[in-house]
Amino acid sequence: MTLFIPEWQRSSGSRLQCKRVLKKLEGDYVVRQCITQGIWSPDFFLQRDELEWLALMVCELQFDTLDPSQLFITAEQTAFSQMLEKLSTFESLTDIPAMRKLVVMWGCDSDQCKALWSRHCEGRGIWLMSKKTFIDSGAEQLPKLLKGLSTDARQTIMGHYFPEAEIAGIRTTRRQFVRDNSARTQRYFLDVQQEWASKLDLELPDEQTEMAGDFSVRLVNGVAGSGKTLIAANRALILARKFPDQRVLMLIHNVPVVKDLKHRLQRVYGEIPANLTIITALSWISKQWRTLFKETPKMPSYNKETLDLIQHFRNIEYPDLKPGNEQLLDEFNFINDTVIINEVDYFKVERAGQGFALRKEERQQVWALYERVTTALLKQSGLRLWSSLSRDLCLANCHDTLDVYQHILVDEAQFFAPSWFQLIKLTLEKTEGTLFLCADPNQGFLKNRLSWKRVGLDVAGKTKKLRKSYRTTQAILSAANQMLAGITQTDPDDYLQPDFEGMATGTPPLFVLSHSPQDAIAQTCNEIAAHQKSAEWSLSGMLLLYGKGIDKALLVKTLKTRFGVDRIWDMNDKRAAPGHDESLRIATVESATGLEANAVFLVGLEKLLRNTVQSHSVTESELEQNARKLYMAMTRAGQRLVLISSTPLPEKIAGLFEHT
């Protein structure tokens, strides 16, 4: 199959016929087009595997304007000669060996091509091919013209003509160990599928696209480690540079990933383009709320204040209401997330995935309680639920004052609420806006039972699935996969089967049993120090994720004492920044999606581990959410995963780990 990077969406004339020929090639080929501005390049490159390349040009000049037997030199002959000169010498600009080149002469037959070749191309490494030959037998002839290049030459070509596909080593956990003592640096590039996805629909939608809807949308579904965040970040950078006068927005679910991504991009590229905004969804929603309502919203720091109000009003008016206070708060957030306008709409809405049923009279009571609690919050303390901000914006009648973007990219889209997507659509430029989504259905533990159709997005026929993981090893992904298998496997929309072919085998995840939660903290420090010494990994190459079963203050204090005050980066602290280039990143499990490291240490997950096994106290919905959360945490690891716990693993998953 031939992959076009970027896709040829508006092919017509000679380009359309070229595409038809190239799609006939048997085997895996890549047709690359340089999108870097300011440098000359062939029209496109044809690539087979990684090292076989061919440079191609299409010349539409007619032979009667190029005929070398003419008495006077024509403007077309001069343009043709200049094009051939650039084609014959372009390798010298990048210091690579001569590459084979082909010019398809759209206005010449075979005899005319021979005449032109004798006059202009002999000895210059350039082949000429007539339009008829190209169309009739191009699929058979092109593979014969491909020429093998060295790895160094391939890296130079990629770095010069396709720099947007390069991944600096600091941005990836991918490693290639090659015994080579020469003084050179290994360069990393996006996999062709990742690069293809990052360059989808780079041209603005044409008239047909505009007629089909208000905006174009693309969804990339990928397993953990398939490079979704890299794809979204690369695409965002490409769009920002390609359209400097247009606003590009990249929305990410959690604070640690935004901080980590910005830190890495700034170290690799320097300043992020001024027209590109990378921000968490909640921060962006809050910013839009301030823009529209001209004040700063206030939210409860903890749920206790809201839960106390729920208890107060239910005691007075609804003592027989069965759901617990936590369930009712979740239902209030559901009302906001779904942008339910009134009681009538609440009676009609589909509640699948909420985990408990409500009869009509119970819904009536819940709605009344929702209005009582939210009104009391606002009147008593000037507070709003976080989930109400996007609902407020969606229901407002003055959307013209909101910040508008030409391109919006969403990473970890499986965690976004319907109200967030509705707000995104309201702020997307109506005629030329593009929406690009990246998601991992295997990790969807926050907004379960949602579908793209339910959030108002049509992604049918616009979805790309990435099944190969480049971050982790077969042993780690297989263990996480086995743990998750059987829970969501029946629905392909909820489960994406990884492709293990070609993955490094690796070592199984390690389980370390400690005597107490305090001992688990000390043991975690010992494990980090041991890996730092034995594997020669820096602290920046490791990540510590902690759950609710840990004393965070003690954990941070112990880590700083062991490794240094400036060597611990708390990614959940908005004020914190890395105090050193070699800092250990720490974050809560709930906020870890999108993060990655060579070695990942998990601690304080005792409750989560217990609740991955069916019991009377764990509902089916909770079981699924916990399994997805554990899957996400495990797949943050690139090469080593260590789980430290003060309680033994449930028998159901114990066999997935090595034990010490």
226 labeled binding residue: yes
DSSP 106-165: EE--HHHHHHHHHHHTTTTTEEEEEHHHHHHHHHHHHHHH-EE--HHHHHHHHHHH-GGG
- What do you get for the CA distance between the two ends of the chain, in Å? 47
**HEC states along 286-339?**
HHHHHHHHCCCCCCCCCCHHHHHHHHHHHHHHCCCCCCCHHHHHHHHHHHHHCC
463 labeled binding residue: no
Amino acid at 50: E
Strand partners, 4: 31
DSSP 172-226: ----------SS----EE--HHHHHHHTTT-SPP-HHHHHH-SSEEEEEEE-TTS
222 labeled binding residue: yes
Closest CA to 585 of 556, 625, 549: 556
Token couple for 45: 């490159």
524 labeled binding residue: no
Q: Do 432 and 275 contact (CB within 8 A), yes or no?
A: no
Closest CA to 419 of 392, 397, 384: 392
229 labeled binding residue: yes
CA distance 423 to 188: 37
CA–CA distances in Å: residue 232 to residues 28, 170, 212, 277, 470: 24, 17, 24, 13, 16
433 labeled binding residue: no
44-48 and 52-62 beta bridge pairing: antiparallel
225 labeled binding residue: yes
Phi-psi group of 467: left, alpha or beta (phi > 0 → left; psi -120 to 50 → alpha; rest → beta): alpha
Token couple for 294: 């001209």
CA distance 19 to 325: 60
CA distance 633 to 655: 18
What residue numbers does the annotated binding site cover? 222-229
What residue numbers does the annotated binding site for ATP cover? 222-229
